[in-house]
Amino acid sequence: MDGADRTFAVKATLGYLVLSTAWIFFSDRMLVHVIDPAELVQIGTFKGLFYVVVSSALIFLVMRHRPIPRDGLKRDRESSSKTPFVAATVAVFAMASIAFVSFQIETSSARREGMERIARSVTHDARELGRWLVQRRRIVTDAVADEGLRRAVSDVLMRPSATAREQLSAIVERTRQTVSAAKVRIYRPNGVDLIDDAATASQPAVVRRVAESGEIESSPVSGSDGIGLVFFVPLHDFVSWEVLAVVEIESRLEDFLPRLLVLDDHRFSSSRTRLLSDDGGSFALVPPAAGENDGDLGPIGIGRPSELKPDGSADTTVSRDDHGTRLLVSTSVVPGANLRLVSSVDEDEMLGRLHRLGWSTALAFFVALFACLGFAHLLWQRQRLEEAVQKLGQTRRAQAAEDRYRATFEQVGVGIVHVSLDGRWIRWNSAFQEISGYSREELNALPVLAIFHPEERDGVADSLRRLLAGELTKIISERRVIRRDGSIALARITASKIASDAEDEPYLVAIAEDITERRATEDALRASEERFDLAMRGASDGLWDWNLAEGTIYYSPRWKTMLGYEPDEIADRVESHEALLHPDDVEPARARTRDILEGRYDFSSFEFRMRAKSGEWRHILSRAFVVRDAEGRAVRMVGTHADITERKRTELALRRAAAVFHNTQEGVVITDAEGAIIEVNPAFTAITGYRADEVLGRSMSVLRSGRQDEEFYRNLWKALSEDGRWQGEIWNRRKNGEIYPQWLMISTVRGADGAVLHRLGTFVDIGPLKATEDRLTHFALHDPLTDLPNRLFLRDRLRLAVEVIAPDQIGAVLFLDLDRFKTVNDSLGHAVGDALLCDVAHRLSDVMPRGAVLGRLGGDEFICLLPEVADVAATAEVAGRCIAQFGAPFRIADGREVWISTSIGISLFPRNGTSADELLKQADAALYEAKSEGGGVYRFFDRAMTAKASRRLELEARLRRALELGEFELHYQPLVGAKDGRAIGVEALIRWRDGDGRLIPPDDFLPLAEETGLIDLIGDWVLRTACRQMRDWSQVGLGLEVLAVNLSPSEFRRTDLVARVTAALEESGLPANLLEIEITEGALLDCGSSALETLATLRRKGVRFAIDDFGTGYSSLSYLRDLPIEKLKIDRSFIRGIPDDPKSCAITSAIVSLARTLGLEVLAEGVETGEQVEALRELGCDTMQGYFFSRPVAAADLPRLLAGRGSTDREPRASAGSVGSLDEARRSRRISHRIDA
């Protein structure tokens, strides 16, 4: 099988595959519409036969049209005339088959639509009938349940008189009319008529079944007057629920069907509708038309109602009646009843229109078929005539082509020769004779290889062998030919093999072109181009040649590699050049090109940038000139490109270097190899003061200051000789004689031979920099406020002093902390505090002994380092002088005087320690001891202080954990009215019960809490807890009017005090007028004017205030007058002396009188005896508090305490294990804080 046969087989197979697949796919999709199984089998068989017939016809046509040998062509043409008839026959058969299948499918679709229409109607009617049955069942049930009917039935059963029967008959008639029934009868449970004993029920079995089950039943009946529906309803006795009778109620369906059913919708003359029951009864709801036979539906396969679809939808099928008529039948269950609604219609009547249309179409089809066959015959006759004309035209065209071929063969400008496969000449043209120089007779006598050069013959013979063997399809080569006169011609020969046909044998055809002169010209041109290319390579330039007439351009390989491209990466187009130009250079390049072409310039040289393959922009120098024809028109433009990027970079670097040389702020000097100055920049003159003309030609020694010796300069020159460079700090002299420091860098520049050409020196004046470094060093080691040595400087000096001190010598560290400085700083402002620290530094500096170092650690802390003292007494003398400096007041900016003192802690070395950290820690411990004694003193460190400090640290750690672990608790001490002895309120007092259950006295932890800042967190907890507890007591009716809570000075200074108190009140729901905040005089004085604003804000919210420990502070009466307070608490120190100490009594009386004058209440705290109670009553005190009445108790114990308390005449009740109150722990001294910088 050759290639054509294989191709034809593949195409035929693929075509058959596609057509077969399409037929199977689409025909199977059409069969989906067929419903009847018998029709489905019939159509499937017909579809298969049609497929076989059509595929056989197609195979026949394909085989008729397959490629055939040339010798069978004539026979194929003779038989091709029959093809139209065969094709027409196949087409007619196919069309008829398709029409038949389509008709069957349409018939099936119409049948399905008709059945769906009947099914919808039957389903609707069945549901409507079911709803009517339910409604009817409810109506008859309600009618039978009538009490009058039940009494009448009972009367007849108990006293069967005529009167009772007449009354029952009347009630039955009324019931019939009420339910719109055809008739109503009442039967005994045995089926005997209750009114007429001689009559019995029409369905006695149903009556007995209803009487036994007590359930209502219904069934259709058929009579002369139509179809009816009978309900059998049991009548029960209300007492025993025994069935007394069964009521039969019959209704005519004809009375209700018109408004219930749609039986007339889509009605055909053959349509019938029946109502079927489970017992086999059949009732015609829609009878057949007049004159038609009402035959039985026959074996339509309709099941019982329980076997049909439970959702009420219709079942459809095709059946035959007892006359054999095909019917379309649809059945649906009537909901709520054992009934089925069946509707049927004659299939022929439904599909009659479609059948008539099918026969009409078939008749039209056959008429068209015969018309087509006649037309096909005419076409066949015309085709035969056209074929005869076509054959005649082909013969004439073949003769004309032969004539043209011979004319072309002879007149073509190249030689053409035909050679047989055995090497004989067959024919050739005159051009070939001119190339060889031989006559026709001479060529016939020569072998083919004889005309070739001896060196070419083997190659020609080998090429011919490969061509004949099929290894080559064509030979193209250049061969030397020996002419008859012995000269050699160069011929370009193209040879190929021509296959044989029916008349000719295979042969070789060769085309020979004489290229002798062209090759000589090409060789000369190539030699010229090589010389030009060598010249351009030597110049490293790229060449471009633009043929303006043809619009082509040539780029030399160097032109492309100059930009990093391979020769084949840039196309020889004008656009390639412009695409590589820098965007800013495109328009200038176009303008210069226009100038040259328009004759403004004969020669052009300009620069632009082009993008290299690497993305870099290269600078290109382009030179170009124009070649013009005789008429002056530009026909060619030739030019070169030279890469001048490096030259541009060098020029730019030189310009930049010149700009740097003249504009840099560094001095630059250049010397020759001998050190003579040859050039300086302006900065040199600005720094040294020498002009250029004053130093050119002179040695650099003119700048020497004399500070460096000769050894320095010998090392400098040694480094230059060995390394070629030197840099470092050097002191030189300006022209005005000023000596200044320079940072000098010297580099040596050598030639290609290594000899020194010159030296380059750059320098900067570092005098300002060194001054700045000195200032920065000073700032790093000194306090910026007082200019005293800072912590870093002190530590370094202390470390050095400890290292160098001898074992038998003494050094000391004095740690000073200012007393009450925080009060001044907070009340008068930081500016006043800073000025005060400067004054303190000046006073302390005045009393420092020689060699001592005074510094400031930060805040109000100072350190005095005595590297060496004679003895301990000398150290104490220095400490005493420091304290004495605070004996006089400090005058501040506004003229006021401020009194402060200092406390000093002293640590000796090497006695107490040998490290700076250890000595500072010990001095700090001694300082704490001095401050704990009231301040204004100095104390030396001893080991006991370390143990005390450790205990303090341990207590602080436990205190921080106590709040998290819930170890704090509140105790409450009653506030008792002086007149009636009634507890009017309580004061909340904090207690700390550690993990061991031991109560820690407030005096042990509250001062530490204030010092560490934990007092704020503890205060928040106290305030919130006390408010919640007071709310709980108020809700249970404890009757307390005041909850007193203490605030520490640090709490009172907080800016968020108002928010804290407000949040505690809102969180607990405690009324604000029940809360009383106690604050000391000292805290009010420390806070200044801000206290008034805070107190006023809280007072407006309803919170009350009392001054605690009144009389122990320094409040002025005018200041007291402005405070929004309600109560003064007399300190226990005054109460303790009553009534024996007259001074205490006088002070207490004065406080009471002052409170009365200011309209304030008075509370005496610390009342412990009955005598004190009586004395305070006489003095006019309002409220009392103390152990006489009760010790502070836990919250759970307070209600019992108040319930058992009577008047002040009773003995105090103290709870075991209680401790002193918060005010017991409050100290009169102030706890100051060190502020670390």
Mean pLDDT is highest, among 332-346, 363-377, 636-650, 725-739, for: 725-739
Residue 71 has pLDDT above 70, yes or no: no
Which of 377, 395, 430 lies at the terminal end of a domain, its last residue?
A: 377
What pLDDT is recorded for position 1209?
42
Please report where in the chains the tokens 């038989």 appear, as a residue: 79
Q: Nearest Cα to 56, choosing from 22, 89, 81?
A: 89
> pLDDT tens for residues 114-150?
778 888 887 888 888 888 888 888 888 888 888 888 8
What pLDDT is recorded for position 948?
66
One-character DSSP codes across 782-845: B-TTT--B-HHHHHHHHHHHHHH--TT-EEEEEEEEEETHHHHHHHH-HHHHHHHHHHHHHHHH
Q: Is residue 522 included in any domain, yes or no?
A: no
* Full residue range of the structural domain in which residue 604 is found: 537-649
How many angstroms separate the CA atoms of 917 and 798, rounded?
9
> pLDDT tens for residues 1027-1057?
999 999 999 988 899 999 998 877 887 778 8
pLDDT band for position 1221 (cuts 50, 70, 90): very low
What pLDDT is recorded for position 1077?
93
What pLDDT is recorded for position 1182?
93
Amino acid sitting at position 120: R
> What is the mean pLDDT of the segment spanning 48-60?
69
Q: Are 962 and 994 in contact (CB under 8 A)?
A: yes
Amino acid sitting at position 1118: S
Q: What is the CATH number of the domain that holds 1149?
A: 3.20.20.450
Buried b (16+ CB within 10 A) or exposed e, 26-42: ebeebbeebebeebeee
> pLDDT tens for residues 826-846?
778 888 889 999 999 999 999
Which of 889, 914, 941 lies at the terminal end of a domain, its last residue?
A: 941
Q: Is residue 332 included in any domain, yes or no?
A: yes
| Residue 342: Cβ-neighbour burial (10 angstroms; 0-12, 13-18, 19+) | buried
Q: Is residue 24 included in any domain, yes or no?
A: no
What pLDDT is recorded for position 1208?
39
pLDDT band for position 562 (cuts 50, 70, 90): confident
Give the tokens for residue 495. Answer: 């040879």
What pLDDT is recorded for position 9?
65
Tell me, yes or no, whether 256 and 370 share the same domain: yes
Q: Are 759 and 770 in contact (CB under 8 A)?
A: no
Tell me, yes or no, whether 612 and 743 share the same domain: no
Q: Which residue has the higher pLDDT, 1020 or 413?
A: 1020
> What is the mean pLDDT of the segment spanning 971-980?
92
pLDDT band for position 549 (cuts 50, 70, 90): confident
Give the tokens for residue 216. Answer: 């209502």
Give the tokens for residue 338. Answer: 């054992």
Tell me, yes or no, whether 86 and 235 share the same domain: yes
Question: What CA dihedral angle connects 1191, 1197, 1200 and 1201, to 10 degrees?
Answer: 10
Phi/psi for 669 (5° steps) reads -135, 135
What pLDDT is recorded for position 501?
58
Q: Is residue 396 included in any domain, yes or no?
A: no
Tell me, yes or no, whether 605 and 485 share the same domain: no
What pLDDT is recorded for position 1231?
28
Question: Could you count the other beta carbons within 10 Å of the beta carbon of residue 315?
Answer: 20
> pLDDT tens for residues 1074-1107?
999 998 876 776 666 667 788 889 999 999 999 8
Amino acid sitting at position 563: L
For residue 222, what are the β-bridge partners?
227
Tell me, yes or no, whether 1031 and 1168 share the same domain: yes
Residue 973 has pLDDT above 90, yes or no: yes
Tell me, yes or no, whether 914 and 979 share the same domain: no
Tell me, yes or no, whether 978 and 1059 share the same domain: yes
Q: Which residue has the higher pLDDT, 68 or 812?
A: 812
> pLDDT tens for residues 1177-1193?
998 999 999 999 999 99
Q: Is residue 1231 included in any domain, yes or no?
A: no
Give me the chain's average pLDDT, please.
80
Amino acid sitting at position 588: P
pLDDT band for position 510 (cuts 50, 70, 90): confident
Residue ranges with strand state E in 265-384: 272-277, 282-286, 315-320, 326-334, 339-346
Q: Which residue has the higher pLDDT, 993 or 864?
A: 864
How many angstroms separate the CA atoms of 102 and 12, rounded?
29
Residue 68 has pLDDT above 80, yes or no: no
Tell me, yes or no, whether 76 and 190 share the same domain: yes
Residue 1236 has pLDDT above 50, yes or no: no
pTM: predicted TM-score of the whole model, two decimal places: 0.36
Tell me, yes or no, whether 901 and 998 share the same domain: no
Q: Is the peptide bond before 204 cis (omega within 30 degrees of 0)?
A: no
Write out the H or E segment, with its range, that includes residue 1048: none
How many angstroms separate the CA atoms of 741 and 774, rounded?
14
Q: What is the CATH number of the domain that holds 190?
A: 3.30.450.20
What pLDDT is recorded for position 712?
92
Residue 339 makes CB contacts below 8 A (sequence gap 6+) with 129, 220, 275, 276, 277, 278, 305, 333
pLDDT band for position 73 (cuts 50, 70, 90): very low
Which of 888, 916, 941 lies at the terminal end of a domain, its last residue?
A: 941
Q: What is the CATH number of the domain that holds 824?
A: 3.30.70.270
Q: Are strands 603-611 and 617-628 parallel, antiparallel or unpaired?
A: antiparallel
Residue 983 to residues 257, 990, 1181, 1185, 1208, Cα–Cα distance (Å): 96, 20, 15, 10, 10
> pLDDT tens for residues 277-298?
766 566 666 554 444 444 444 4
What pLDDT is recorded for position 849?
93
Tell me, yes or no, whether 728 and 593 share the same domain: no
Residue 473 has pLDDT above 50, yes or no: yes
Tell me, yes or no, whether 217 and 305 share the same domain: yes
Q: Are 1080 and 1226 in contact (CB under 8 A)?
A: yes
> What is the mean pLDDT of the segment spanning 46-63?
67
Tell me, yes or no, whether 904 and 1053 share the same domain: no
Q: Is residue 36 included in any domain, yes or no?
A: no
Q: Is residue 425 included in any domain, yes or no?
A: yes
Q: Nearest Cα to 237, choosing from 201, 211, 270, 275?
A: 211
Please report where in the chains the tokens 């359930």 appear, as a residue: 215
Give the tokens for residue 616. Answer: 């870099």
Q: Is residue 526 included in any domain, yes or no?
A: no
How many folded domains does the chain comprise? 6
Q: Which residue has the higher pLDDT, 763 or 632?
A: 763
